[in-house]
Structure 1
Amino acid sequence: MIKKLSIIALTLCLAVTYQSPSWAGKVLDKIKQTGVITAGTRKDAIPFAYVNEQGKWVGYSVDILEIIRKDVEKKLGKPIKLQLVEVTPQNRFEKIKNGSIDIECASTTFTWERDKQVDFTISYFASGTKILVKKGSQLGTIESLAGRKVGVIPNTTNEQAIKIQQPAAKLVTVKDRNEGLKKLETGEIEAFASDGILLQGLKKEAKNPNSLDVVPEFPYAYESYSCMIPQDESAWRDTINYSLVKFMEGIISDQPKTVTIYEKWFGDEGVTPYSREIINEYFQGIVNSYEWIPIVDY
């Protein structure tokens, strides 16, 4: 698995030497004038972006956006506010294209088809399509999904993965992950397809988490999470990439501040545990394609 994730990282990154970001471009000019980064994110993507019991927007991607905000604030030398806006799989691309938001970070997967509409930053996490099922269902292999009712969110890579790999599955569309969980619990569907790491978070929201399983062991398709930005905004993309590379370097080199962020969401006591060994290998593959940022920048 480590090798597969490293390959994904290397194939999605350009082997270039990173240069310090300039401050040219419509998005950066707007941020400089308004003092606001308008960011799209989700409310149903545990542990990446969701609203907690206190009504606060939290998550790994939300923390990533805050890191970007702080770096932009430092570079511009003026206070910058982060304004979060809820997006859905149905409207996120349009909000980027029409300028309603400057960036979208939640759990969005890079695809070449999507890249025709928007631009993507480097990846900051990787997962893959799996399914949430009731224990004892005997579902898991792609062959087992033939003729079964599988819940999917429209216009997602998870929907595409199931369509392509098992066209005999009976796809049932749901508006979001919460509806997918509800339909699974009531028996309206036999499985719900989404990213494995998100299904682990969703499982905790179930009435009886122990009655559900996330399967199979290895995803039907591997996916790499990136932030989306408007097309042809290279200075804005480079600014974000600088923050992301610096963050990943911090994880690889065990910098306390960055490791604390990762462990909060993915550590042994985090929301959805995920191997540091695997993510270190993944991040290393990405960082290797860029100039190392001096430790003083942390």
Structure 2
Amino acid sequence: MRAWRLTLPAVLAAWLAVLAPMAAAQTTAPEPVVLAGTLKKARDTGTLVIGYRESSLPFSYLNQAKRPIGYSIDICQAIVSAAAAEISRELAIRWVPVTSENRFDAMTSGRIDLECGSTTRNAERMRTVAFSPVIFVAGTKLMVPRNSPIKAFRDLKGKTVVATAGTTNADSIEQLSQRFNLGVKLIRARDHADAFEVLRNGGAAAYAGDDVLLYGFLARADAGKQFVVTRDFLSYDPYGIMLRRDDPQFASVVDNAVRHLITSGELERLYKQWFLNRLPTGERLGIPMSAQLEDIIAATPQAPE
């Protein structure tokens, strides 16, 4: 049998034949990603639409110049920056005010792309909308006049309670009233500021709301001598940034942007800015981070690079 002998030029030629297709494959540009949903809309229009709340201090509220500011607003602006980087285009923000009652319709109808306020993320709501990772953990409490006999939910028997329409706070009061036969008369106000005014004007014996929002009203209205917030929680409410369901590309951008804020330490800085330091509008809430939010931050994995 005749032996094959390969000369050095022949060996080099053989290696070049193998490496050439590999090199070509490595230098071939990847297929461009086909954008869909919110990211496609953002690329086509150069705009993302943010729904904001007018009186959810310190999450989303209006400053003296009537511009939306707050903890949730800052988080949403980071999401917009991440979306702009994803589609390689500068994005403007169009601001649209929403209320507790119309925020879900505004999202599902496409009127807004992100809702940046104080919205509880729960399983029932996630059947119709999607949420970012948890950004805050609140809980339902009662605000009552300082001389009120109401100390706990059982003291609400036969009383009138105001809560904001479309909130889990209103649902909690309704459920407690039915379960314990309290006979509570529930007033559903248009928004948080309206609910506070009902209480302040004597239209209800208690205002049921998220504890942090109640403390915000005490600070902003300088009403600490007139009202107090009860000690016990009636429910726990994790907040998230709301977006549309079935939009995986945008959901990934939102998820990664919020996880980056958490794991980089930026979310803790924002928390200190909005809950511990003096606010741009002059109030100081002085609310330390809850153990629940600390646990969420500690357990959050880093976003992919």
**TM-score scaled by structure 1?**
0.82
| Partner in structure 2 of residue 175 of structure 1 | 190
SS at match of 1:33: helix
Is 1:274 matched up with 2:283? Answer: no
Q: Indicate conservation of the 8 Å contact 2:54/2:97, yes or no.
A: yes
| Partner in structure 2 of residue 3 of structure 1 | none
Q: Indicate conservation of the 8 Å contact 2:137/2:290, yes or no.
A: no
Q: By how many angstroms is 1:111 displaced? A: 2.4
Is 1:80 matched up with 2:91? Answer: yes
Is 1:238 matched up with 2:252? Answer: yes
Indicate which of 33, 51, 61 corresponds to 1:50. Answer: 61
Is 1:123 matched up with 2:137? Answer: no
Indicate which of 167, 185, 192 corresponds to 2:200. Answer: 185
Indicate which of 158, 161, 164 corresponds to 2:175. Answer: 164
- Name the amino acid aligned to 2:221: A
Indicate which of 214, 220, 236 corresponds to 1:205. Answer: 220
* Cα RMSD (Å): 1.9
SS at match of 1:122: coil
Distance in structure 2 (CA, Å) of the matches to 1:258 and 1:92: 24
Q: By how many angstroms is 1:23 displaced? A: 6.4
Q: Deviations over 1:244-282 (max 9, x none)?
A: 11111133xxxxx55442221012545422324633223
SS at match of 1:210: coil
| Partner in structure 1 of residue 242 of structure 2 | 228
- Name the amino acid aligned to 1:223: D
- Name the amino acid aligned to 1:273: G
Q: Where in structure 1 do 4 or more consecutive aligned residues deviate above 6 Å?
A: none
Distance in structure 2 (CA, Å) of the matches to 1:224 and 1:105: 14
| Partner in structure 1 of residue 44 of structure 2 | 33
SS at match of 2:241: strand
| Partner in structure 1 of residue 30 of structure 2 | none
- Name the amino acid aligned to 2:288: S
Distance in structure 2 (CA, Å) of the matches to 1:76 and 1:230: 18
Q: Which runs of 5+ in 1 are unaligned?
A: 1-21, 252-256
SS at match of 2:111: coil
Q: By how many angstroms is 1:47 displaced? A: 0.5
Distance in structure 2 (CA, Å) of the matches to 1:134 and 1:51: 26
SS at match of 2:90: coil
Alignment of 1:61-72 (within 5 A): 61-72=72-83
| Partner in structure 2 of residue 102 of structure 1 | 113
SS at match of 2:225: helix
Q: Indicate conservation of the 8 Å contact 1:265/1:273, yes or no.
A: no
| Partner in structure 2 of residue 247 of structure 1 | 261
Distance in structure 1 (CA, Å) of the matches to 2:194 and 2:79: 32
Is 1:261 matched up with 2:274? Answer: no
| Partner in structure 2 of residue 147 of structure 1 | 158
Distance in structure 1 (CA, Å) of the matches to 2:54 and 2:223: 21
Is 1:138 matched up with 2:149? Answer: yes
Distance in structure 2 (CA, Å) of the matches to 1:219 and 1:137: 18
**TM-score scaled by structure 2?**
0.81
Identity %: 26
Distance 1:195 1:23, change over 3 A: farther
Q: By how many angstroms is 1:74 displaced? A: 2.2
SS at match of 2:234: coil
Q: Indicate conservation of the 8 Å contact 1:132/1:192, yes or no.
A: yes
Aligned length: 264
Distance 1:236 1:70, change over 3 A: same
